[in-house]
Amino acid sequence: MQAPDHPVSGPSPVITDIVVPVQASENQEAWKSAIAERLGISTSSIRGMRLLKHSIDSRQRNIKAQLRIMVGIGADLPPQPPLSNTLPIVPSGAPVLLIVGCGPCGMFAAIRAIELGWKPVILERGKDASTRRRDLAPILREGRVIPNSNYCFGEGGAGTFSDGKLYTRATKRGPVQRVYEVFVANGAPERILIDAHPHIGSNLLPRVVMSIRDSIIAAGGEVHFGQRMTRLITDPKYGSACGVETAEGLTFSADAVLLATGHSARDVYRQFAGQGIRMEAKPFAVGVRIEHEQSLIDAIQYHLRPGETRPRYLPAARYNLATKIRDRGVHSFCMCPGGFIVPCATENDEVVVNGMSLSRRDSRFANSGIVVTIEPEDTTALESEHGILAGIAFQRQLEVAAAVAGGGMQKAPAQRAVDFIAGKLSSNLPETSYFPGITHAPLHEILPAFIVERMREGLELFGRQMPGFLNKDALLIGFETRTSSPLRIPRDPDTFQHPDIPMLFPCGEGAGFAGGIVSAALDGMKGAECACTAIKAQSAKTSPLPQKPQTS
């Protein structure tokens, strides 16, 4: 319902937008006054209010809150039904959807499959979220990566320990609000239902994803940890996907296979290349993490005077920066206000950095990726040796170079941003949130020249857009390489099936069709719907279904 621009008469719930000073954004009396003026009614006729959306407009020093509110005029608002994480029980003998990967794509595919009467069976190479959390200690304290249990692999996927930002522009992909509601029903803060930039936090997400897993199992689904796919099984007669083999020597059979492996499961790409399964090169982005004091970002974004601190009613400030330099995008990525930089390597001979925040976003640091778009033609020199995997080889070259420059133990190479632009080694480095530690290194010599040139220009532009962004303590840490997959596993845009392999549904970030928690979840839900449609169509045919291998 659109907010009306004229007076309202008669008892009716209406939705209206108001603007109030940010310090009054939680004051319901201020809401009433603004609503009454907006709708041309008396405050006494307002019988109920329900906040639907909250955003902050900080473009001017006089910061405002923009609110969308459902208003009961002359009558109480209808009660809001409680959210539940209880799913319908899977019918006995239901078709099986085998889901490879237990990140947001895989988990929401499982939820949708259950709602449609399918039995989801999730295979996850990593461990459950509770055990996985303990496995992060060796990375942080010893510089030792556990290959299948780290910041990238395990229950909940990379998003579990990578901030939990839920903001998405993928509103046309499906029911975004439904994704938020599932999170809330499983323990996420209700605030994510109304915030314009919702965020859960890496400290809360493990409990949420474990609750989602429990609801899937309670409904009759299955979740198997420690099961890494090593081969896709196709039916010899029909060529359709009907199961997978795992490194643990097990075979899992299914009516359809939904791939939700995430963009760091590089062995999946190698498997598919070895099996001759078609893949396509796609653009991705690489760069660095830039870190500032959060107080600096607050001062820039909230127009604070020298010495003035951020008021408690304002959240830690964020930014979003983007430009195009000689046909290549340069932009900020996964900005983490009040956050930390964390090691996200999946092998011990590489260094990869990413950002995260806890729910309170109360770290003294702010960080963001500053990355440059890499097009397929930028990796052609690697194609003779690596073929379709040239983009992955490009990423890995940078990751290994970062490990060497860092000196081992997951220490990361770092350089002051002003020294990067000037092309000189930093004589000393400021404090950082990156726990394994940093080593001064010439990032401008390690990165390819075409990236360095564009990043320098981008940083200088961002420094003009946000005066102070390029202060002497702005720190660059290398390298941010896992922004997205360099490959796309193709699918039909309508059926979501691989064009060469019926009943294989590539979904999410690993297949190259999503870019964040919410978009991956939506893609998984749509993939499950397409799988259901396909198996119904196959069942309707007069020919018998393909014979499936037995589970061993």
181-196: pLDDT as tens digits: 999 999 999 999 999 9
Pure H helices in 127-175: 129-134, 136-137
For the full predicted model, state whether its pTM sits above 0.95. no
Alpha-carbon gap, residue 329 to 454, rounded angstroms: 9
Q: How far apart, in whole angstroms, are the C-alpha atoms of residue 37 and residue 32?
A: 9
Same domain, 307 and 395: yes
Instruction: From 208, 268, 232, 219, select the one nearest 121 (Cα to Cα).
Output: 219
Using the predicted structure, report yes or no on whether residue 490 has a pLDDT greater than 70: yes
Supply the pLDDT for residue 538: 81
Please state, in angstroms and rounded to a whole number, the distance separating the CA atoms of residues 303 and 52: 28
Domain identity same for 414 and 469: yes
Mean pLDDT over each residue of the chain, to the nearest integer: 93
- The answer to whether residues 275 and 366 belong to one domain is no
Task: Please return the burial class of 278, using the count of CB atoms within 10 Å of its CB with bins 0-12, 13-18 and 19+.
Answer: middle
Range of the domain at 53: 12-73
517-540 helix and 176-185 helix, angle to the nearest 10 degrees: 100
The answer to whether residues 34 and 149 belong to one domain is no
Say if residue 252's pLDDT is above 90: yes
Residues 220 and 340 in one domain: no
Percent of the chain surpassing pLDDT 90: 89
Tell whether the model's pLDDT for residue 267 goes beyond 70.
yes
Position 496: which residue type?
F
Residue 131 lies in a domain: yes
* Between 319 and 202, the higher pLDDT residue: 319
Shared-domain flag, residues 414 and 267 = no
On whether both 467 and 495 belong to a single domain, the answer is: no
Please tell me whether residues 381 and 500 are part of one structural domain.
no
Residue 78 lies in a domain: no
DSSP for 189-244, please give it: -GGGGTBSS-B--TTTHHHHHHHHHHHHHHTT-EEEES--EEEEEE-TTT--EEEE
Q: In this model, does residue 542 exceed pLDDT 70? A: no
Q: Kindly state whether residues 403 and 299 are assigned to the same domain.
A: yes
**How many domains is the chain built from?**
3
Mean pLDDT throughout 329-352?
A: 96
Check whether residue 276 and residue 288 sit in a common domain.
no
In a domain, 402, yes or no: yes
On whether both 371 and 450 belong to a single domain, the answer is yes
- SS3 assignment, position 480: strand
Predicted local confidence at residue 549, as pLDDT: 47
A 10 A CB-CB count for 400 gives: 15
pLDDT band at 19 (very low <50, low <70, confident <90, very high): very high
Whether residue 354 lies inside any domain: the answer is yes
pLDDT of residue 415 exceeding 50, the answer is yes
Q: Is 508 left (phi over 0), alpha (psi -120 to 50) or beta?
A: left
Residue 551 binned pLDDT confidence (cut-offs 50, 70, 90): very low
Q: Give the rounded percent of residues in the chain with a pLDDT score beyond 70.
A: 95
Least confident among 71-80, 238-247, 412-421, 468-477 = 71-80
CATH number for the domain spanning 54: value is 3.30.70
Residue 12 pLDDT exceeds 80 = no
- Could you count the other beta carbons within 10 Å of the beta carbon of residue 322? 12
Does any domain span residue 2?
no
Asked if the model's pLDDT at residue 544 lies above 70, the reply is no
pLDDT for the residue numbered 540: 74
Joined tokens for residue 453: 């040139």
DSSP string of 304-333? PPTTPPPPTTSPPP----EEEETTEEEEEE
Indicate if the alpha-carbon torsion angle 136, 137, 138, 140 is positive or negative: positive
The domain that contains 135 carries what CATH number? 3.50.50.60
Residue 494: is it exposed, middle or buried by C-beta count within 10 angstroms (0-12/13-18/19+)?
exposed
